[in-house]
Structure 1
Amino acid sequence: MTLPVVTKNTKIRTAAHWGVYEVTSEPAGGLSIKAASEDLDPSPIGLHMASKALKKVRIARPAIRKSWLENGPGSNPHLRGREPFVEVEWDVALDLLAKEFQRVTTTFGNEAIFGGCYGWASAGRFHHAQSQVHRFLNLIGGYVSHVDSYSLGAGKVILPHVIAGLSPLLNQHTSWDVMAENTELFVTFGGIPVKNAQISQGGPGRHRVLAGMRSMAKAGTRFVNISPVGDNMPVDSEWLAIRPNTDTAMMLAIAYVLHVNALADFDFLRSHCIGYERFADYLTGVTDGITKTPAWASEICGVPAERIEALAREMASHRTMLNISWSLQRAVHGEQPFWMLITLAAMLGQIGLSGGGFGVGYGAMNSVGNDNVRFKFGDFPQGLNPLKTFIPVARIADMLLNPGSQFTYNGKSYIYPDIRLVYWAGGNPFHHHQDLNRLLQAWKKPETIIVNEPYWTPTAKLADIVLPVTTSLERNDIAAASGEDFVVAMKKVEEPFGQSRNDFDIFNALAKRMDIDFSEGLDEEGWLRRLYDVSRENAGAMDIQMPDFDDFWQQGLFDLGQEAKPVIMLDDFRRAPAKHPLSTPSGRIEIFSETIANLGLPDCAGHPTWLEPAEWLGAASRAKQQLHMISDQPVRRLHSQLDASPHSREGKVAGREPIHINSADAAARDIGDGDLVEVFNDRGRLISAAVVSDAIMPGVLRLSTGAWFDMDYDAGIERHGNPNAVTLDVPASSLSQGCSAQTCIVGIRRLELKQATPVLAFEHPEFQK
């Protein structure tokens, strides 16, 4: 069977990271996109996937940087992003690529190749750029890979030492219906940012976070939001404004109150945890001479001591769910708040009870807290990487700048490789990474940088070879995600733009030039059938009967929501810890970890600890006019995706990503609503536009990530409002090497309009015949 072509006026389903949508190909041309009728709280982001504004920034043909094309690999790398591209035919580009791979692997070995690909390119299981490029690189002998994520670098490393791996925890978070029935008090560090919950890697079928929280509020749950910002909760809540990076200190003070007043559940601490006694010595000052009282914490975090004490007592006397935002561990010492939250939940003794315990990311993605059945979906096989060399994902600039130097990760020492070739598909490091001026310097090191990309993003403009790829609307695929409602037949609804090709076709053509079998004799339809059959078989093992492929493709959607069942995280462990042990060395919650303690790390002790970061509002060296800038996820896009769309642009002020500032801080600097401002520190400068808001606490700025990096190289300033022009590129700790973007002190001043150069983020690069 050949997959049917979608005709005009035919309404079909497709999926994106923002949801499931209904697409109609209109008689007059173009596409009409609406949210799926089953979704009662749809995200508007995906409605603009086919906008004309996005077409204007598409890459039409393969393009090669002028110096690289004329003089070969390594030519004038300092001109990346500054000199013209030359458009070439596909055969020319692929022949040059095959030759370059042969040169690098023969001369330097496969350890000189970095496959730097992030996993957010598509919601599809087959046309998943990260899987495609990693499969290709594995088949040619391997590559240097990365581990963890920018979102959860510190959290992902610390959690297995303390309680469980991140994925198992996320898959069993207590469901919203259970909390609505049982949770009396919901205390969240970092809020519940519903804007983040617009997304899911495989496409959210029904957006549930807002409905879940409203059902809790209606049932009488009381919410406390401990955060530097007060507008990150969708229901009525008490806002306790806290200095960024000080949550661990406040949690320690709450723990102190529980301990000294015998409000902790000492039976649970004895039966389900280890190491509490050693932590208690730290809490009471036996080990360091500092008692972690509310008065001590208040001086650090800014929350009144009496409110800290009262909150501790409220938590102990109610069925309490604790939650923490992922943003808190994207900071220097980011492991500590995650570890401390779990310790606090253990002290309350409600882990495994209905509506009690903790969450590490309610509101982070739509799937967290969903009660859907979970099983493994088929995905495009990447194969095995013959090389074991890797870096933590946030250490790209370190790797490129310091080949041969040593780094530590999760208790072991490693060496940074010497990278000559970078292949990027499905990601934008000039969005994700910190201190982009430093990354620009590191970006000069490789001899060849290759990018597969639909749009002229900043990363594409800074490449040597750019290959145009299709979007999800221009190919067939299947969307599915653990914890989400729908399996979706993503049918092709428009022809590829220009000469763009699917990643699969690009790598298959390149592999043939290198005498490698990439496709296993299957085309797009063959792979979709194979992946679907794997999913169907795994579903059948859980008594879920999915239709055969042909019926599924015709129906367009399979709903897993009918299989949903209430979930209580770690209820088995609570009921029988010996029969259902955790995956930690002890099988219990490790409030004190011998494993970590034995590493002897200066920045991560054997129990949760307050460690002062180099940059924060309490630092004695901080100048009076400086503020703490947090860089959260944006409202109108996922990361930097679709920044050129009308929806994203409508959220900008004067064409720049807006920065939110407290009214008192704005008045002290003569900054008015809508004024252009310069944000600066020793790492860089950027231009933004001010939004004055008392939803931001004094001393704090908020500038969302994802504005396409737009550097004025002559003036040395980023002009579009990308916060990573000034963020800190140092490890969260020597344990995790996670990113630390939320540790960032800056200055801000009003900028006259004549001082600001125009934004060119969405302009094409220059081309030369």
Structure 2
Amino acid sequence: MSTEQWVPTTAHWGAYEAAADGNGGVQVRPHPDDPAPSALLGNVPGIARHTTRVQRPAIRRGWLTGGPGPSSQRGREEFVEVDWDTALDLVAAQLDRVRNESGNEAIYGGSYGWSSAGRFHHAQSQLHRFLNTIGGYTASRSNYSFGTSEILLPHVVGSSAAVLGYADSWATVREHTDLIVAFGGVPVKNTSVNPGGVARHSTAAATADPGVEVASISPLADDAPGGGRWYSIEPGTDVAMQLALGHVLLTEDLHDSAFLERCCTGFDVFAGYLRGESDGVPKTPEWAAGICGVEAVDIRELARRMAAGRTLVTVTWSLQRAVRGEQPVWAGIALAAMLGQIGLPGGGFGHGYGSMADVGGDGPVLQLPTLSQGANPVGTFIPVARIADMLLHPGAEYDYNGTRLTYPDIRLVHWAGGNPFHHHQDLTRLRRAFARPETVVVHETHWTATARHADVVLPATTTLEREDLGAGRRSTHLTAMHRVLDPVGEARDDFTILAGLAERLGVRRRFTEGRSARGWVEHLYTRWRDQLARQGHHLPEFDQFWKAGEVRLPQVPEDPPLVRFRRDPERDRLHTPSGRIELHSEKVASFGYDDCPGHPAWLPAERGGALHLIANQPRTRLHGQGDVGAVSRDSKVAGREPITLHPRDADARGIAEGSVVRVFNDRGACLAGVVLSDRLRPGVAVLSTGAWFDPQPDPQHPGQELCAHGNPNVLTADVPASRLSQGCAGQRTHVDVEPAENPLPDVKAHTPPPLTRRP
């Protein structure tokens, strides 16, 4: 393809144009109308043909020679490349064996999103559709991003969508809001991405310069956009400050009693807690200051400013991705309710500003083309972040959202899309868990740690090597994702891989419905177009859309649930037991969970280490995607993931800028390269997620391993946010840091594992 043949496509970091460079690679340029293109586009050329691409089907030698069974050699052995027929025959035989011997519940359909921005070539949907055609699978529910909130919000405001799906646009905020009080800040770095991509990064541009006064409450100064005021808070103590703000509103009679009476229930219980009636501890600013490190006078002054005008209280997703993660979300809603502004434009409560591109976007809330996954005949599921518990403890019981569930006995894991060795916690424990199944099958584009811990690796195409439709939540456009490159090696798209398995298991027709991949893309578009036509929205035929490269999505009038509710709480009742906003939930209280009582509460977590480590999202890639790209590689320090330390903490340990350190706690250790900055609170360190996991012997501790590359999830604890949500709690942990001793192990994460070719 000539370098002049630019075609449209999209990715999680936004729509863009791409062209083959004539040497097997690709060049990219931003969407012409994008006001703030993502820097992550710079990773794309280096990803497409990197040496870590999986070229051919590959099988772990021990599994190939010894057959299925638990094995601690996953992640440690070489792979044998085989032809496609051999690989598909082996996988189909194992799927058939497991479902016949142990039932479909013994198959875990592990796929966890983020593999593609495409609406058809969405690996999770493809895999689940296939598994449903052969009798079902044990599924996962919710997500790592906001899984804790997704369980809590229905108890408090009736649904998670009422908050997560209808955030005010930045245009509305600029017009109506006087003050944004941002717990967790509003980090601009996260606003270039969302699962389906956006054509115009209007949210990123607005977040960088919100045009509204922002009070950023975070241990990181860079979480404050546009010169907003930084309240340097001790990590994990936001709830104490939120309660103190509420105490000021209550005791100085700055709360909206009429709104609380008309639209809420349980405020009397919550108010009693603020006063200290239930535990003898009034939640005063002085009490909070001793916990969170923000001066009492500043807390009191901020509360008064909040009550003086239109205030938006927002909480980032990062705060709920922690032990007791429900509490800052619930306390944020309680603060907004006390101000009486929920349902008013630019006021009330927001969740996720600075967490994703679509939160604060101006695109429509619109149903997008979707591939049907069918019905799963198996009812067994786990909360997504409990995968290691499931694999290690089959038959064990656990609490979840008021129910008592049992972990199934998984014999086969089938994974397509996602990388648990990036986003899960306590990776040493996860390695033990992945040793337990009889067979692990992974579809992958690159030799990630998840691929290395598989028995069978099936090479998948990237977005640039296939055709699709792309759009994300609140996107303004649907993009025609044209193919740019030929597949690398023998890679196939997930649909073709699964169609081959379906053929061998006698369900090909049911899985494919007689369509090719291109036929499905056209079918999904046409069906979606017809649905919109019945609603009065007329879009072009498929051929016109494909030639144009995109279509602007129609604006659909919005009437958000909390706006309707505010207008008439009796008619537009919320789906809570009371029909109102529940500041105290009798239902949650009835569960008896000491880690999530019936109202927002300060539940201090144990501290275990000298430094408070924040494992946030990187600014140089999306999760682990793009770690082999130029932008990500250029951010490394001495070839390792950078760890940011305050100069005071580095000096105390004899650590210099640019040096390599060993970061450690009782769970594990990793190496990282040092960056010094005074733009974070002393006692806090930042090591972003996404460096490809690279377990190697620890030179300073014989017999132990560390991640030579700097993945913080060797340090984070694999514990749930609470018994209510069982959500991910991987945002923070405690560590110490020391200079690393020479010789340092080489980073091997970006080098393929040992491979041989079967004749």
Paired with 1:424 and 1:126, the residues of 2 have a C-alpha distance of: 17
* Equivalent in the alignment of 2:736: 747
Q: Deviations over 1:93-151 (max 9, x none)?
A: 01111111111111111111111111100000110100011111111111110011111
Paired with 1:130 and 1:423, the residues of 2 have a C-alpha distance of: 11
* Equivalent in the alignment of 2:543: 550
1:572 Cα deviation (Å)?
Answer: 2.1
1:768 Cα deviation (Å)?
Answer: 3.0
* Equivalent in the alignment of 1:40: 35
* Equivalent in the alignment of 2:12: 17
**Residue 186 in 1 paired to residue 180 in 2?**
yes
- Aligned partners of 2:615 and 2:732 also within 8 Å: no
Paired with 2:625 and 2:178, the residues of 1 have a C-alpha distance of: 38
The count of residues paired between Structure 1 and Structure 2 equals 750
- Give % identity: 49
1:559 Cα deviation (Å)?
Answer: 1.7
* Equivalent in the alignment of 1:719: 708
* Equivalent in the alignment of 1:305: 296
One-letter amino acid of the structure 2 residue matched with residue 85 of structure 1: F
1:579 Cα deviation (Å)?
Answer: 2.3
* Equivalent in the alignment of 1:276: 267
* Equivalent in the alignment of 2:530: 537
Aligned pairs (5 A) from 1:689-704: 689-704=673-688
* Equivalent in the alignment of 1:485: 476
- Aligned partners of 1:74 and 1:447 also within 8 Å: yes
**Residue 126 in 1 paired to residue 110 in 2?**
no
Deviates more, 1:540-549 or 1:334-343: 540-549
Question: Does the residue aligned with 1:86 lie in a helix, a strand or coil?
Answer: strand
1:7 Cα deviation (Å)?
Answer: 6.5
1:213 Cα deviation (Å)?
Answer: 3.8
- Aligned partners of 2:110 and 2:416 also within 8 Å: yes
1:371 Cα deviation (Å)?
Answer: 2.4
Paired with 2:731 and 2:474, the residues of 1 have a C-alpha distance of: 29
**Residue 632 in 1 paired to residue 612 in 2?**
no
Aligned pairs (5 A) from 1:590-601: 590-601=582-593
Residues 27 and 700 of structure 1, relative CA distance in 2, 3 Å threshold: closer
Paired with 2:274 and 2:130, the residues of 1 have a C-alpha distance of: 52
* Equivalent in the alignment of 1:207: 201
1:54 Cα deviation (Å)?
Answer: 4.4
Question: Does the residue aligned with 2:180 lie in a helix, a strand or coil?
Answer: strand
Paired with 1:529 and 1:394, the residues of 2 have a C-alpha distance of: 35
Residues 701 and 504 of structure 1, relative CA distance in 2, 3 Å threshold: same
Normalised by the size of structure 2, how large is the TM-score?
Answer: 0.97
* Equivalent in the alignment of 1:3: none
- Aligned partners of 1:247 and 1:337 also within 8 Å: yes
1:513 Cα deviation (Å)?
Answer: 0.5
One-letter amino acid of the structure 2 residue matched with residue 729 of structure 1: D
- Aligned partners of 1:175 and 1:568 also within 8 Å: no
* Equivalent in the alignment of 1:242: 233
One-letter amino acid of the structure 1 residue matched with residue 504 of structure 2: R
Q: Deviations over 1:189-240 (max 9, x none)?
A: 11111111110111111112243246642xxx21111001111233011111
1:636 Cα deviation (Å)?
Answer: 1.0
**Residue 686 in 1 paired to residue 678 in 2?**
no
Paired with 1:703 and 1:639, the residues of 2 have a C-alpha distance of: 13
**Residue 518 in 1 paired to residue 507 in 2?**
no
- Aligned partners of 1:174 and 1:568 also within 8 Å: no
Normalised by the size of structure 1, how large is the TM-score?
Answer: 0.95
1:564 Cα deviation (Å)?
Answer: 7.5
1:481 Cα deviation (Å)?
Answer: 2.2
1:751 Cα deviation (Å)?
Answer: 1.5
One-letter amino acid of the structure 2 residue matched with residue 718 of structure 1: C
* Equivalent in the alignment of 1:435: 426
Paired with 1:568 and 1:696, the residues of 2 have a C-alpha distance of: 37
* Equivalent in the alignment of 1:149: 143
**Residue 654 in 1 paired to residue 638 in 2?**
yes
* Equivalent in the alignment of 1:618: none
1:46 Cα deviation (Å)?
Answer: 2.6
Of the three residues 437, 451, 461, the one matched with 1:470 is: 461
Paired with 2:621 and 2:546, the residues of 1 have a C-alpha distance of: 29
Unaligned runs of 5+ in 2: 698-702
Paired with 1:658 and 1:51, the residues of 2 have a C-alpha distance of: 20
* Equivalent in the alignment of 1:728: 717
Pairwise CA RMSD of aligned residues? 1.6
Paired with 1:153 and 1:182, the residues of 2 have a C-alpha distance of: 30
Of the three residues 580, 591, 600, the one matched with 1:588 is: 580
- Aligned partners of 1:186 and 1:323 also within 8 Å: yes
Paired with 1:724 and 1:649, the residues of 2 have a C-alpha distance of: 19
Aligned pairs (5 A) from 1:261-410: 261-410=252-401
* Equivalent in the alignment of 2:700: none
1:181 Cα deviation (Å)?
Answer: 1.2
Paired with 1:68 and 1:566, the residues of 2 have a C-alpha distance of: 54
**Residue 642 in 1 paired to residue 633 in 2?**
no
Paired with 1:78 and 1:334, the residues of 2 have a C-alpha distance of: 33
Residues 46 and 216 of structure 1, relative CA distance in 2, 3 Å threshold: closer
One-letter amino acid of the structure 2 residue matched with residue 688 of structure 1: A
Paired with 1:404 and 1:231, the residues of 2 have a C-alpha distance of: 45
Paired with 2:334 and 2:22, the residues of 1 have a C-alpha distance of: 60
- Aligned partners of 1:656 and 1:688 also within 8 Å: yes
1:280 Cα deviation (Å)?
Answer: 0.9
